Chains A and B, each alone.
Chain A
């Protein structure tokens, strides 16, 4: 495994009676795409919120770049190079695309003009160049997802957390987005993504962790994970693995 940038060790998070994340451990390496998959309600978004500082874990360590970051506020983590997108897109609706991206670019550009110029370059890299002066409120879902991505990239992250950036996109939009995500990892950024679009996960991710009911139940390459009985059962219900293998034998 390449150099580990983010090492999550035995992290737990409880909301009242619900143990949303239960002793989860996973690792993300620089320059490649790691995926976190699991059925709805598995705790993926909670885990993302913990890594990006929006939630405090109840237990465990989150080691990023050699130090424990658990409980640090989001803005400080962002300044240390952890960027995230939101599953429910959060554009600055009253601002243009360029101004949205410039907020992120200000992390490394103090001047307004420099930040706005940098925003233009980043928009280019995610295919938003034509929409730079459009108000963010008028973007389509696909446009807003790209904007989330562009803004996160604007802070020049070392670790990028993508929370379902493909959700809500049609197949052709997904096809357009996949090379954009791949190009990000090729620039040396560690990418951790959650996704329900399995076809995309399988083609993008090098390593996959599977979360179910807050626990990591499996990990491995896409092929290993797809063949794992526990994963099939987690997605399709108890006994499903037997039925699918039986079905495959008959068919």
Chain B
């Protein structure tokens, strides 16, 4: 249980924030960061631990967001059930894309490009299909009741987002300490060597993309409930695929806390840029690009890797902070 202690501490710290501030600006900022941390944790499982770099996590995010919204708006399904169904739908898309790409042996940049293509095809279909509201998008009608998964205050949303992030941290930590996690890392490091040791690489990767999709799908469902509006560009747009991979890479891919750290950093930078320059379109992407160059060049193992290295240098006891992180 010792390995779960850092998660408990981090979640407790974040849970204390509403005690000190009820500012909607702060809470909105943190909810947005937690949303990216959650979507990024999904990417991290497949990309960070499994070495399969997806450029199309929007496919899972968007499908989940649309499923949640459409089930409520068009079929009158309860929002909480819609939330669960959204996760199931996103997970299924993950399993299908995984089965198709991994069965055909796609690796490296080929895998990345095909996942990008899947997300783009879904975006284009969603922007014309009547069921998604096509170009107009889908608006979830305002109904500020807990049973409709809508709240007057930002605080309940904040705690739900935090709860989902906490759950994702626990899941990834559990994977890290399991045989499945060891096999996943082995596939990342060297697929041939792994299969010579009895690792069924296809099944391992398929399980990873399915679980990865489920986590990112939860972020999509949450987005739909939080903003109550989605269109094709939001749900399946490249922005979420980019945020989902940028957060773990900046924070430390293949570490439990990487996505959370990275999400806080890129959201801070993004908001900071807006404060200084106004809302110049595309400028946040320029900043992200520079950040990515900086991280890859200077700290290839992300912030978590940097912290571990500093901790390792300044004392042996500090290394215990991040047990099991490779």
Chain A bound to chain B:
yes
Residues on A facing B (Cβ under 8 Å) = 52, 54, 73-76, 78-79, 83-84, 86, 90-96, 99, 102-104, 106-107, 110-112, 115, 151-152, 154-155
Query: Is B196 in contact with A92, judged by CB distance below 8 angstroms?
Result: no
- Ordered nearest first, which 6 A-B pairs have the shortest CB separation? A92-B189, A78-B198, A90-B193, A74-B195, A104-B197, A107-B198
**B 166-203 binary contact with A (CB < 8 Å = 1; else 0):** 00000000000111011101101110111111111100
Query: Is A78 in contact with B197, judged by CB distance below 8 angstroms?
Result: yes
Note all chain A residues with C-beta closer than 8 A to B200. 73, 75-76
Taking a contact as CB atoms closer than 8 A, the residue among B179, B193, B201, B326 that contacts A94 in the complex is B326
Query: Is B197 in contact with A95, judged by CB distance below 8 angstroms?
Result: no
Note all chain A residues with C-beta closer than 8 A to B182. 99, 102-103, 106, 112, 115
Most chain A CB inside 10 Å of its own CB: which residue of B183, B186, B197: B197
Closest to B193 in A: A90
Query: Is B197 in contact with A94, judged by CB distance below 8 angstroms?
Result: no
Query: Is A95 in contact with B179, judged by CB distance below 8 angstroms?
Result: no
Distance between A164 CB and nearest chain B CB, rounded to angstroms: 15
Closest to A113 in B: B177
Q: Is the interface of B mostly helix, strand, loop or mixed?
A: helix
Query: Is B189 in contact with A151, judged by CB distance below 8 angstroms?
Result: no
Query: Is A112 in contact with B193, judged by CB distance below 8 angstroms?
Result: no
Note all chain B residues with C-beta closer than 8 A to A111. 179
Note all chain B residues with C-beta closer than 8 A to A75. 195-201
Taking a contact as CB atoms closer than 8 A, the residue among B179, B190, B194 that contacts A110 in the complex is B179
With A92-B186, A93-B189, A95-B185 in contact, is A74–B196 under 8 Å at CB?
yes
Note all chain B residues with C-beta closer than 8 A to A95. 185-186, 189, 326
Q: A75-B200, A83-B196, A94-B189 are in contact. List 16 more A-B contacts (CB 8 A).
A: A74-B192, A78-B195, A78-B197, A83-B197, A90-B190, A91-B190, A92-B193, A93-B190, A94-B326, A95-B189, A99-B185, A103-B182, A104-B198, A106-B182, A106-B183, A151-B197
Query: Is A78 in contact with B326, judged by CB distance below 8 angstroms?
Result: no
Cα–Cα, bound, A20→B197 (Å):
26
Closest to A84 in B: B196
**B 151-168 binary contact with A (CB < 8 Å = 1; else 0):** 000000000000000000
Cα–Cα, bound, A112→B180 (Å):
10
23 residue pairs from A and B, CB less than 8 Å apart: A52-B196, A73-B195, A74-B192, A74-B195, A75-B198, A75-B199, A78-B196, A78-B197, A78-B199, A83-B196, A86-B192, A92-B189, A92-B193, A94-B326, A104-B198, A106-B183, A111-B179, A112-B177, A112-B178, A151-B193, A151-B197, A152-B197, A154-B197
